[in-house]
Amino acid sequence: MTASQLIILLLTGLLAGFVSGAMGVGGGIIIVPSLVFLLGMSQHEAQGTSLGVLVLPVVALGAWNYYKNGYLNVRFAIVLIIAFVLGGFLGSQVAIMLPDRLLRRIFGGVVLILALKMIFGK
């Protein structure tokens, strides 16, 4: 790892953590594009690395702040965790089989559709 790669990773991690704590997003929106466009990773490697970040409780302090203030529905979170684990496994199996270019286009399309829905939806 070079010094410039380390700086990019640190800044990406700080930004993703901040955005995740502030808005509930970070991995897919910040980390994946940063790894692809700034560090030249394939879409597969960027997605795998982003998921690897989630293995450890990296957002525990952010979630704790929401919990302390009454903004974390623990029962809903538990159900989502269980479903997320299964969905993550199944989704990764599908993504690994797709060509990198197609996977990147699907990823970009999903982000674009979600952004438009958030901006113009009710």
Tens-place pLDDT, residues 36-84: 999 999 999 998 888 888 776 777 887 888 899 999 889 988 988 888 7
pLDDT above 70 covers a percentage of the chain that reads: 94
In this prediction the pTM is 0.71
Extract the runs of DSSP E, i.e. beta strands, from the chain.
none
Q: CB count, 10 Å around CB of 50?
A: 21
Per the prediction, the chain carries an average pLDDT of 87
pLDDT value at 118 more than 90: no
